[in-house]
Amino acid sequence: MPNNRPIFETERLLLIPTNLADASFIRKVFTTPGALRFIGDRQLHSLEDAVAFIYDRVLPHWEKNGYGNYTLIEKKSQQKVGVCGVFNREGLEHPDLGYAVLPAFEGLGYAKESSLRMMSAAKEQFGLSVLDGLTHPENERSIGLLKHLGFESRGQSQIDGYDYKTELFRIHL
């Protein structure tokens, strides 16, 4: 358990706290066409950019909040397939559940499986009672997943760092 950060497990996945060794993978996840369209450009143009992103954003979030981004590893193949985590975002009243899966692994239920485990951890390990969920208004798959997970729509909201109004969802754990 790196720096006392918990590791979680599901039937098919290991959820490992993201660290500097994940830089190449983080760059890959956040530069897919879907991530660029629906999450936004994190300016991860090189491996160095990804290392800086983890060092400047991911690790400090962990230190400040005691939770953050997890890298999803498929148990069977040991491949990194996506990310999932709980994040405090500027302009949001409650922490946000976030996830992204590489295109090759979309539609296999990994976002759902990891989100359910992260929701459980948010309540049981991190002591949270409410989570928000944000998504691009055109991201029908993410909207469908949030609804399936039990999140309720709160309408559109302008959130700092986004140049469009996001769909805001909320769940009481």
pLDDT per residue as tens digits for the range 82-135: 999 999 988 889 999 999 999 999 999 999 999 999 999 999 999 999 999 999
User: So what's the pLDDT on residue 3?
Assistant: 63
Question: Across 49-126, where does the E strand assignment appear?
Answer: 69-74, 80-87, 96-101
Query: Domain residues for 80?
Result: 2-122
- Kindly give, in sequence order, each residue whose CB lies less than 8 Å from that of residue 33, ignoring residues fewer than 6 positions away: 103
Residue 37's pLDDT band, with cuts at 50, 70 and 90, is confident
CATH number at 80 reads 3.40.630.30
**Side chain identity at residue 59, one-letter code:** L
For residue 62, tell me if it sits in a domain.
yes
125-144: pLDDT as tens digits: 999 999 999 999 999 999 99
User: So what's the pLDDT on residue 1?
Assistant: 41
d(CA 147, CA 165): 18
User: So what's the pLDDT on residue 30?
Assistant: 95
43-71: pLDDT as tens digits: 999 999 999 999 999 999 999 999 999 99
- Kindly give, in sequence order, each residue whose CB lies less than 8 Å from that of residue 80, ignoring residues fewer than 6 positions away: 22, 25, 71, 72, 73, 74, 102
Taking residues 150-163, what's their average pLDDT?
A: 86
For residue 41, tell me if it sits in a domain.
yes
For residue 165, tell me if it sits in a domain.
no
The pTM assigned to this predicted structure is 0.94
Residue 163's pLDDT band, with cuts at 50, 70 and 90, is confident
For residue 162, tell me if it sits in a domain.
no
Structural domain total, the chain = 1
